């Protein structure tokens, strides 16, 4: 619960002492960068690490969260102004080849650091200080060490992960340091454990530390532009909070879910269902849904994932002619995982915090939507000699055109949606039985079908489409590869550049969940 406590007089001296410490760190950082030409990256990460350590000890000498929150607000304001006016260059990301120290702001990590600290102060201070300390320490120390090691000795870059290069050496540093810190925290703070953690044997606590370290490493590997400063502590704090609060989450199930998600990610890379970034995102999504949701949430997700992945691999020769039309291929990356599973991920998190059964119907609705969209595309392009019509005008268009619909594709969309609901009915989910099997099938089936038509409408109206001058055809891709190996920029002929296929898929997923949720709510069933 959000809580800002009253100011206490005894907290005033440590408040000013903390402000002085932070100011000293910033001053020394700028001095080392400007006067002694020390690498801005090294200086920034040392400050980052030091701040993580300082925050770890803050609950020890503050009685109330009022003055720490004020300090976080001041640092947040300073960081925002520094990004705008570039007062302290050592705290900003600089291009590697810049010798004049002219800043090129590529990271908002300095802004997100005090923001996530402020949020945790408000939500966790009253009875979960140790979670705040653990999550911020891992972000401050492990993330800094990963960047320092990766930039100095990292040689083996991880391909197809992020635009900002990540190295195996940096990721291993992140993992091992996070494991040590989390293990130590779980040992030191064990007297404050409640819920699933209170009775856990030491072996399981070390296994939890291992999984949390892997989660933190995956988050750090996937995110750039400073976003990891926010999501590393949030992901750790979220998991520990659920286990601590005795939600319907059991430590054993969470560990097994994380293990299964890890093996699924590795399997997906081996069979080329996913790229490295897609597999990493799938591990994070799977750990949340498998580990927290249990079988009721896992089976529908696996139904979508396995059936759609296999379907995308069928008829390669026939579908090869569409490879340069669609924005991405059949091997899904992190963006596609977020687009197809991101709404389901958010719904799982929402349910874990308030246990509203209507959210489960929204979850099935979003999975039905992405299943319908995927099946409509795959079956529509795989079907021999189909006819397609633009959903806005019913004018006949070539199969594969954004916004085009066909009888085989639309039929497959509805059938795929039904399979999502059927998978939940097969394991006898109580909420579906209470609502009715036929009613559930109709609700989820039509939620997926209508969402796929929303996807087609957006594809026909606002999704960006380009003209490929090399092959003289319309495509979703922004660039094409010429025969001589030169990348050629395609010309925008329709839609909005910011609206790509991933965004359209996300809106499709959102519409499916919204429709199912609104129907359940309007019926006042739960």
Averaged over 489-518, what is the pLDDT?
93
Short-list 480, 478, 469, CA closest to 496: 478
- On whether the pTM is more than 0.75, the answer is yes
The pLDDT, as a whole number, for residue 212 is 98
Reply yes or no on whether the pLDDT at 97 is more than 70. Answer: no
345-370: pLDDT as tens digits: 999 999 999 889 999 999 999 999 99
Contact indicator for 357, 424 with CB cutoff of 8 Å? no
Burial class (CB in 10 A: 0-12, 13-18, 19+), 162: middle
Reply yes or no on whether the pLDDT at 242 is more than 90. Answer: yes
Structure tokens at 513: 């969940």
**pLDDT tier at 481, thresholds 50, 70, 90:** confident
Alpha helices in 383-500 (DSSP H): 407-426, 430-435, 437-461
Averaged over 374-396, what is the pLDDT?
85
For tokens 């090399």, what's the residue?
Answer: 470
Alpha carbon distance 423, 438 (integer Å): 14
Averaged over 27-33, what is the pLDDT?
91
**pLDDT tier at 245, thresholds 50, 70, 90:** confident
**pLDDT tier at 324, thresholds 50, 70, 90:** very low
Averaged over 83-95, what is the pLDDT?
80
Higher-pLDDT residue of 332, 228: 228
* DSSP type of residue 33: H
Average pLDDT, the chain: 89
Averaged over 164-173, what is the pLDDT?
90
Averaged over 455-475, what is the pLDDT?
87
Short-list 112, 114, 90, 113, CA closest to 101: 90
For tokens 């246990």, what's the residue?
Answer: 355
Provide, rounded to the nearest whole percent, the portion of the chain with pLDDT above 90.
Answer: 65
Alpha carbon distance 357, 248 (integer Å): 13
For tokens 């009888």, what's the residue?
Answer: 407
SS (H, E, C) 210-277: HHHHHHHHHHHHHCCCCCHHHHHHHHHHHHHHHHHCCCCCCHHHHHHHHHHHHHHHHHHHHCCCECHH
Alpha carbon distance 425, 414 (integer Å): 17
The pLDDT, as a whole number, for residue 469 is 85
Reply yes or no on whether the pLDDT at 222 is more than 50. Answer: yes
Alpha carbon distance 341, 510 (integer Å): 10
**pLDDT tier at 106, thresholds 50, 70, 90:** low
Short-list 216, 197, 80, 204, CA closest to 137: 216
32-81: pLDDT as tens digits: 988 888 888 899 999 999 999 999 999 999 999 999 999 999 999 999 99
Averaged over 181-209, what is the pLDDT?
93
Averaged over 472-481, what is the pLDDT?
79
How far is the first Cα of the chain from the last one, in angstroms, to the nearest whole number?
24
Contact indicator for 224, 164 with CB cutoff of 8 Å? yes
The pLDDT, as a whole number, for residue 100 is 36
Averaged over 205-227, what is the pLDDT?
95
């Amino acid at each position: 619960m959000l809580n800002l406590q009253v100011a206490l007089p005894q907290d005033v001296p440590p408040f000013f002492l903390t402000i002085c410490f932070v100011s000293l760190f910033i001053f020394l950082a700028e001095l080392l960068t400007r006067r002694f030409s020390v690498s801005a990256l090294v200086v920034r990460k040392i400050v980052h690490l030091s701040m993580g350590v300082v925050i770890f000890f803050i609950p020890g000498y503050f009685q109330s969260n009022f003055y720490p929150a004020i300090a976080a607000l001041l640092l947040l304001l300073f960081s925002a102004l520094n990004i705008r006016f570039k007062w302290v260059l050592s705290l900003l990301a600089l291009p590697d080849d810049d010798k004049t120290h002219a800043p090129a702001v590529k990271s908002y990590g300095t802004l997100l650091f005090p923001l996530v600290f402020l949020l945790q102060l408000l939500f966790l201070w009253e009875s979960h200080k140790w979670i705040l300390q653990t999550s911020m320490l891992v972000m401050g120390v492990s993330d800094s060490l990963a960047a320092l090691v990766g930039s100095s000795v990292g040689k083996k870059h991880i391909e197809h992960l992020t635009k900002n290069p990540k190295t195996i050496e940096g990721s291993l540093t992140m993992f091992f340091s996070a494991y040590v810190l989390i293990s130590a925290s779980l040992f030191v703070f064990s007297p404050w454990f409640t819920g699933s953690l209170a009775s856990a044997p030491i072996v399981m606590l070390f296994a939890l530390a291992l999984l949390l370290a892997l989660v933190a490493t995956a988050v750090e590997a996937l995110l750039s532009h400073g976003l990891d400063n926010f999501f590393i502590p949030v992901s750790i704090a979220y998991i520990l909070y659920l286990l601590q609060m005795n939600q319907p989450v059991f430590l054993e199930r969470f560990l097994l879910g994380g293990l299964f998600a890890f093996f699924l990610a590795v399997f997906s890379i081996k069979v080329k269902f996913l790229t490295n970034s897609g597999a990493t995102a799938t591990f994070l999504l799977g750990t949340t849904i498998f580990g927290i949701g249990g079988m009721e949430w896992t089976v529908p997700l696996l139904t979508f994932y396995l059936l759609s992945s296999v379907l995308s691999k069928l008829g390669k020769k026939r579908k090869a002619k569409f490879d340069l039309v669609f924005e991405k291929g059949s091997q899904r990356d992190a963006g596609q995982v977020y687009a197809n599973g991101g709404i389901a991920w958010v719904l799982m998190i929402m349910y874990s915090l308030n246990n509203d059964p209507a959210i489960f119907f929204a979850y099935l609705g979003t999975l039905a939507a992405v299943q319908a969209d995927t099946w409509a595309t795959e079956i529509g392009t795989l079907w021999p000699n189909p006819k397609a019509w633009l959903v806005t005008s019913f004018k006949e268009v070539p199969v594969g055109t954004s916004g085009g619909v066909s009888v085989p594709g639309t039929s497959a969309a509805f059938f795929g949606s039904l399979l999502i609901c059927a998978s939940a009915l097969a394991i006898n989910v109580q909420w579906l039985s209470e609502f009715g099997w036929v009613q559930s099938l109709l609700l989820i089936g039509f939620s997926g079908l209508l969402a796929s038509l929303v996807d087609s409408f957006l594809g026909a109206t606002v999704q960006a489409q380009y003209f490929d001058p090399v092959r003289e055809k319309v495509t979703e891709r922004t660039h094409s590869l010429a025969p001589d190996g030169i990348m050629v920029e395609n010309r925008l002929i329709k839609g909005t550049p910011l609206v790509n296929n991933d965004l359209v898929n996300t809106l499709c997923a959102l519409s499916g969940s919204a429709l199912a949720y609104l129907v359940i709510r309007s019926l006042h069933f739960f």
